[in-house]
Amino acid sequence: MLHRLALQNNLNPHELNYNWFIIPINFDYGLLQPAWEILSNLDNCLSYGKTLYQGGKNDLLYYFGNKFISELDSIEETKYD
């Protein structure tokens, strides 16, 4: 809803609060973790498919950059080795 509102008003949605856009992931107090909606089973979009990281990867890239994503990608790769 916020994303649509921003676009309708010619705003870059990423310039709002980043925690609104990286759901299903939350970055709070320096900790990257599942959003509270996921942890509380309140997210209507929760289903099988992509990992939480894959679902929020493009937004994480926007806010934190390539080096951050490279590090997370390497962690993800070792998890499935």
DSSP 75: H
User: Minimal CA–CA distance to 38: which of 29, 30, 28, 47?
Assistant: 47
Task: Report the domain count for the chain.
Answer: 1
Give the residue numbers spanning the domain of 38: 2-79
Please indicate whether residue 11 or residue 10 has the higher confidence score (pLDDT). 10
Confidence (pLDDT) at 26:
77
CA angle 50, 58, 77 (to 5 degrees): 55
pLDDT in tens, 22-65: 567 777 788 888 877 777 776 555 566 677 888 888 888 888 89
Confidence class for position 68, pLDDT limits 50, 70, 90: very high
8-12, 17-21, 32-36, 61-65 — which is least confidently predicted? 17-21
User: Distance between CA atoms of 74 and 78, rounded to whole angstroms?
Assistant: 6
User: Minimal CA–CA distance to 46: which of 57, 34, 58?
Assistant: 34
- pTM of this structure: 0.62
